[in-house]
Structure formats: structure tokens, C-alpha cells
Amino acid sequence: MSEYFKDREPSDLKGRAFFAAIIVAAAFFILLARFWYLQVKDSEYYGDLSKNNRIRSIKSPAPRGMIYDKNGIKIVENRPGFDLYLVPEDVKDWAKTKEQLKTLLDIPEETINDRLEQSEDRPPFQAVKLKEDLSWEDTVKIESFKFEMPGVILEVSPKRHYIYSDAFAHLIGYLGEISDRELKEFKDAQKYAPGDLTGKYGLEKSLENDLRGVDGAKEIEVDALGRKINIASRTASYPGSDLRLTIDIHAQIAAWDAMRDKAGAVVAIEPDTGKILAFVSAPAFDPNALAGGISKDMWRELTENPLNIFTNRPIQGLYPPASTFKPIHAAAALEEKVITAKTTIYSGPSFWFAGREYRDWKEEGHGTINVHRAIVESSDTFFYQVGLKMGVDKLAQYSRGFGFGQKTGIPLQNEKSGLVPSTQWKKAVYKTRWYDGETISVSVGQGYMLTTPLQLATAYAAIANGGKLYTPQIIEEIKTPAGKVTKSFTPMQRGSLNVSETTLNAVKEALMGVVHEHGGTAQSLGAGGLNIAGKTGTAQVSKLIKRTKNVKSITYRLRDHAWFAGYAPYDNPKIAVAVIVEHGGFGASAAAPVAHQVIKAYLKQTLENAVPKTAAEAVPKTAAEPVTKDKGKNEDGKPLQPAVPAEAVLTIKKEDTND
């Protein structure tokens, strides 16, 4: 063997091998230092990155509080729905993802870019909401293509469901995505993220803080392709508080059914408490369609509708009270002893003052009548003379006592205060003195005088309850989801009518006479044993038209507004109602039947004292259906003409009185 080792021992090479050992030692030292650096010194940093890699935090929105009527029938609930989210860090191919979202769901690229821009400050890997409440069809599309679009995910979340759609539109309102401005302005804005829903209208907006719960979060573990592996942790969401309203579903639905093809408003109030029983504004919208996924075209159609769909007529519609003001006028005159109950005045077909003729609605006149008959027959010329005698300022003083000219304090947005004209007011606004001719108009609720339907309803409720003016109440109580009452509301009296019982009784008897006496303007309501008392009104929109029984022969825009305000039963009032049907023509024929239906629906169940167990039993089926094809048309099938805006009404009335 030894001959194999033919060469000398490689000592020269071995000397150099020592340097090799040094290089090896140095290299391994560097490696060790590197791993120490990564795994000990910076391990926390890389630990976070590793967690971000695989953990996606998804908000689990808290269900909003439910809303019930006074008897506990559900009006608004939550149903499960799918939302579309995007985790930008997981997107591998932006061009392809955007194109697929466009083809599958018709989400334009700009929308995606906007959303990403809005959420620039989000923590890495936090999902960005792209679309709220996908349809079933869209959900299936996304599910089947999601592996081609890493980063696109679906999450279930509770969705608002307005069971009676349009019927509660203006009262309850709707939800919409929080705007940039709201995000900045909200006091507890950290509770909100871009894409969150917030109340935009009605009670959803006023009671946002109660209805909104505390959102939870869900951490899901995903793999490198963004596929969900499992749920790592969960923070439970806490649902918002439930509301029990003072609304009576029967009255509300009856009111909506009567108004659904008209423009106008209905307000019903419990006289003894000021609790709102019904609150309807027509035309309405379907709040289900507005929460999140409404298209731009649909939105434009709603906002640009000439009938001003988003005007909340019960509190924002300003109308001359017309003849419904006469009982208030009468109360003022009796209280001021301008007349007594027995005073009779000749009330002919017209009244001449300062060389001008002021006509009565009744061409043949009323003859010589007292105040009772003047209300029953709704004589204009009677009140022209009484008004002139009393003066506009006294009338204004009593009008304000009945709640006109000031906000009622209902917890809804942008309530209008109406207008009670006086000499002082005219001087301040028009810088001119008051003319007596104007007093004549105001004395029959025309001229400058403007009221909201809610104001009129509270005034009549005060007449019905013996003189107490209440702040309208909508919320009965606020409860936690567990049923614990956190806030309970009690009736709040905000004033009294300041008229004696005798005066009030005289007015009430007259209101009863309107319905139940010969010659009364609302005798049609006498049938059915509901014992209604009330007053019709016909607010002139244009003076120039020839008034005729055949209302439909007049151009819609020029037709008079029809009023009815009243209460029932007259001996023990349980419900006070104010109804306005815009351009409805005569109060007796257009508005009174609506009031009749509401009162009937409410009193019928109260009298029977039977509360149906479920909403389905309680409500006629048609009521829950949204208005579809016949929206925007009146009973003739002709398109509705635009309502005259409040300002326009004011202008027209001015011409009217100056005539």
C-alpha cells in the first residue's frame, strides 16, 4: 500500500489550509450573527409580519337595533346578506382582478380606485369593502370565480330590512354609506370606517347612536393565495338598541294605503299624550332599495322627481291651513269676547271691504249665523268680519298658543316652523305696514299663514284633550337586545291653549257639528259610528281658477290642497288626525276619507282591544308591497304634476290676498 503515497506529504498545502479554516470560521460567525439578528433582535418585527401574512382582520358589523310599533309588531329587522371585500395586499394581478369585477358585477374601475384611496390609512391586510349586499346571483358569481381573483372575499353581515318598505319611509328613513364629511364630523368617528352604513334620514339618523351597535371583528387565517383556512379569533359584535315606537301599525298602514297614489301627508296623534300614531308622507321611496346598493340612475330619478319625494311633508311641507284654522280663530274670538257663542253675523256670498269684494266659497252665502254654524258650514264671510274686528295680532297670539309658527320638537331632521303673520312680522320682513285686507285672508287660514301637517295635528289634539299642547312623541322606549329598557319616554306638555273650558267646548261642539249636523261640510264621515269631529279645509293654490265639483277638470298643479283635521271619538278622543292631500281639490271629498280610514283602522282594534300576534295578520297584504308601476301617477293614470314648493305657495298666496 505504501507505494501508493508516492508523493511527499503535502505540507505546503496544509499550511494554506489554516487560512481556509479562518475563512470558514469567519463565514460561520457571520451566519450565526445574521440568524441571531433576525431571530432574536428583530424577531418581534418579523413575528408581526408573519401574522399579517396569514391573519386578515374583517369587521363583523353589529346588527342595528330593531324597530317595533307600539304593540311590539316588528317594522324593521335585519337579514343576512353578502358584502364584497378586497384585501389589496393579496391581489396578485390588478388588471385582471379589476376587469373581472367589472365583467362579473359591473363594478367600474374608478369605484375600486376610489375605495382604495379612501382607505389609504387602513392597517395592512385590512379588507376594503367594495360592494354592500350582493344579490344572490352576484354572490354565486363571485363564489365561483374567487380562486381566479385572490384578494377578493365575501363576508356575511346583517342587512337592514324595512318590512313595510315605503309605508314608513319618511319616519324611519334609510341607511347609506357614511360620507367623507360625516367621517370627519362624527364625534365618535373611530367607530366608523369608510364603507360603513349610517342613518341618513328619519329615525335611523336621529337615533343613530342608539340603533348602531358596537362592531366586532373576525380574524381569519388565510394562505398565500388568500384562501380562508380557518377563523383565528373573534370579537363578538354587540347589537344596537331596539326601538319601540308610539306608532300604531294599523293606523300607519291605513294612512299609507290611502295616500300611496297621492301627494300629501297624514299625521295621527294620541290626544292625551302627544304620541304619534301614524306619520305618512307621500310620495315615498323604498328604503330597502336605498341602503347601499342603489344605482346612480335610480338615485337621480328619486331626487329629481318633481314631487320632491325626499321632502318629509308632515314636518317640512308648509301649507296654508285654510278652513281648518277657523276653529282656532273662533276660539280666539270667543276668548277675547269679540263675539259670544250667541253673536250672529250676516254672512253673505261676499264681503266688501275697502272697495274690494271678498267672496265666500258658497256662492249663495250662509245667511245670518252664529259661530257654531259658521264652523259647521265653514263660512268665510263670517270669519272675515270677526277677524277684522279682532285684529291680526290677537289672532297671531292665539295661533302661537295653539302651537303654530314654532317647531313641535319632534326628533326628526329639518322640521319647519311654519308662519304666523303679525304686524310686527310684516314690518321686520317686508318693511311695510300691515293691511287690513291681509287680515281678512289670514282669518280664514290663507294669506301668509303657513302650517305643517304635524302642527295642525298637535293643535287639534290639544283641542281634543282639553287644552294641553304636547311635544309629539315617537319613541315609546329604547331597549337593549336583551330586553332591558334603557330609556323610556313620557309625554311632555309644552304649553296650553290658554282658552277657557267654555270656549273649548263651544269649538268642540262645532267640530262635532261639521260631521254630524245638517249642512256640515264633512257629513260623509258621520256614517260608521266612529263619532268623528273635525274640520275640512281647501287651501287655494291659485285664485284664478273656476272652482267646480269636477276637480279633475282642473290642471293638477292649480288644484286646491285638500285638508281634514279632526279627532274621534268626540266624547272621549283617542286619536287626532291631520290629513293634507296636495292638489286634492275639496277637503271634504279628498282628505276627509283618508282621515276616516285612519281613524277607523285605529279605533276598530282599540275598541276590540285585540292585538294581532303577527304583522302578517295585522296588515293587509297590499300594504307591504312597494309602490311600483303606479308611482308618479294619480288615479286617472295621468302623471302627477309637481307640487308647488313652499316658497311658491307663499308667493301665490300673496297675490291672492293682494287681489
Contacts 24+ apart (CB under 8 A), 618-626: 618/73, 618/249, 618/250, 619/164, 619/249, 619/250, 619/253, 620/253, 620/257, 622/257, 623/164, 623/167, 623/253, 623/256, 623/257, 624/163, 624/164, 624/165, 624/167, 625/165, 626/165, 626/166, 626/286, 626/288
Residue 221 in the binding site for other proteins (CB under 8 A): yes
| Closer by beta carbon to other proteins, 41 or else 629 | 41
- Residue 50: CB minimum distance to other proteins, A: 3
User: Minimum distance between the CB of residue 36 and other proteins, rounded to whole angstroms?
Assistant: 6
Q: Is 30 in the site for other proteins (CB under 8 A)?
A: yes
- Nearer to other proteins (CB atom), residue 22 or residue 156: 22
Q: Buried b / exposed e across 74-92, counting CB within 10 Å, b at 16+?
A: bbbbbeebbbbbbbbebbe
- Using the rule CB under 8 A, is 32 a contact of other proteins? yes
Scanning residues 90 to 109, which ones bind other proteins (CB under 8 A)?
92
Residues 1-20 vs other proteins: string with x where CB under 8 A?
A: xx-xxxx-xx-xxx-xx--x
Closer to other proteins at the Cβ: 19 or 136?
Answer: 19
Neighbours of 501 (CB within 10 A): 9
C-alpha count within 13 angstroms, C-beta hemisphere, residue 296: 4
40 binds other proteins (CB under 8 A): yes
In Å, what is the CA distance from 622 to each residue of 165, 265, 266, 584, 625?
11, 19, 19, 23, 5
Query: Please, which residue, 153 or 590, has the CB nearer to other proteins?
Result: 153
Distances 186 to 114, 191, 194, 214 between C-alpha atoms, Å: 21, 9, 13, 15
When the beta carbons of 221 and 301 are compared against other proteins, the nearer one is: 221
The distance of closest approach from Cβ of residue 58 to other proteins in the complex, given in angstroms and rounded to an integer, is 17
The verdict on whether 350 is a catalytic residue reads no
Q: How many CA atoms lie within 13 A of 65 on its CB side?
A: 29
C-alpha cell at 106: 359591473
Q: Rule CB under 8 A: say whether 497 interacts with other proteins.
A: no
Closer residue to other proteins (CB): 1 or 354: 1
Q: How far is the CB of 116 from other proteins (least distance, A)?
A: 15
Binder to other proteins among 58, 119, 191, 222 (CB under 8 A)?
222
DSSP string for 382-413:
HHHHHHHHH-HHHHHHHHHHTTTTS----SST
If binding is defined by CB under 8 A, does position 230 make contact with other proteins? no
Of 42-50, 328-336, 387-395, 490-498: span binding other proteins (CB under 8 A): 42-50
At closest approach, how far in Å is the CB of 173 from other proteins? 43
Binding residues with other proteins: total (CB under 8 A): 45
CA-CA distance, 219 to 116, in Å (whole number)?
A: 21
**Nearest distance from residue 221's CB to other proteins, in Å?**
7
Residues 346 and 354: their CA atoms lie apart, in Å, by 18
Burial 123-161 (b: 16+ CB within 10 A, else e): eebbbbbbbbbbeeebbebbeeebeebbbbbbbebbbbb
Cβ-based nearer residue to other proteins, 91 or 298 = 91
Q: Is 234 in the site for other proteins (CB under 8 A)?
A: no
Catalytic residue among 206, 281, 323, 399: 323
CB of 145 to other proteins, least distance (A): 20
Q: In this chain, which stretch among 44-52, 212-220, 466-474, 607-615 interacts with other proteins, using CB under 8 A?
A: 44-52
Which of 397, 396, 418 has its CA nearest to residue 406? 418
43 or 548, CB closer to other proteins? 43
SS3 of 317-356: CCECCHHHHHHHHHHHHHHCCCCCCCCCEEECCEEEECCE
| Interface pattern 48-87 for other proteins (x via CB under 8 A) | -xxx-xx---------------------------------
Minimum CB separation from other proteins for residue 22, in Å?
11
Contact residue for other proteins among 156, 189, 214, 225 (CB under 8 A): 225
Q: Catalytic amino acids? A: 323
Q: For binding to other proteins (CB under 8 A), which residues are involved? A: 1-2, 4-7, 9-10, 12-14, 16-17, 20-21, 24, 27-28, 30-32, 34-36, 38-40, 42-43, 45-47, 49-51, 53-54, 89, 92, 221-225, 229
